[in-house]
Amino acid sequence: MHPRDSAIPKIIPDLQRAVRTALEEDIGSGDITAQLVPADRSARARVTTREDCILSGRAWVEEVFQQLDAELKLHWYFADGDRITANTVVLELEGNARAMLTGERTALNFLQTLSGTATTAAEFAAQAAGTEVKILDTRKTIPGLRSAQKYAVLCGGCYNHRIGLYDAFLIKENHIAAAGGIDTAVARARALNPEALVEIEVESIEELQQALKSGADVIMLDEFNDSETRTALSLAKGRAKIEISGSVDRDRIEQLGALEVDYISSGSLTKHLRAIDLSLRIDL
């Protein structure tokens, strides 16, 4: 089973909330324009992509129309994670015209944003092809769409870092300073939640050695050059995983993969996306 498939059941409550909120902000007291159409008018519609993309967001589109009119029928021609070429029909709908018109923008907003995220992730994944490095997302997501974008990252072939502040420790410079040092911070993390992954960000080889001694699971190298990275990898081998973050563009991924780092994390997967150009056209 692909990780994207196992992710959906876990995020259904969040998915329903996100769709409900999106519909409420758009519809407000009622869709006055849709009321121009007779209430019992039936129609067919099709959603077409105007550019190449990786599809993501089917469940969000389905939830939009489920909340508006459960009798609407949706027929998808592609699955999430599929690569689609421009000017291809992705989805056809059949049912109440008012419901289609009211849900059009919200459904497309989800689909274009998540497909944009997946497409960006696929570009990063392609750069890592042939290496063992895993590309991770971050918490730099659109507010309210954390789980949705992280799902889309999976559709594009990359991987999820921690979901939020609750499921793993990521100890950075300010945490280290406030906690009283690397050893103290890691020891407290282990005492608070022995099962949680502990990752620590370091800025020097000296800090790396402290993090290794403390027993951190993953060590993030902040702005290390290639020589320092090689040293870090040699010291950490068999003791901790190494993650690279900060100022990593797609051209740099292959180089870092060749160094055999374990992970590269990039906020660009979710914050620098460009929404995919989609259109919905109704045939009465």
3-state SS assignment for residue 275: coil
User: CA-to-CA distance for 107 and 112, rounded, in angstroms?
Assistant: 9
Starting at the earlier edge strand, list the strands of the sheet with 42-49.
Answer: 73-76, 88-96, 42-49, 278-283
- Supply the DSSP symbol for 35: G
Q: List CB contacts of 29: < 8 A, sequence separation 6 or more.
A: none
β 198-202/169-171 pair status: parallel
For the annotated catalytic residues, the residue numbers are 105, 140, 172, 201, 222
3-state SS assignment for residue 79: coil
Helices (DSSP H) in the chain: which residue ranges? 3-27, 58-68, 97-128, 146-155, 173-179, 182-192, 205-214, 226-236, 250-258, 268-271
Angle at 119 between CA 116 and CA 125, to 5 degrees: 145
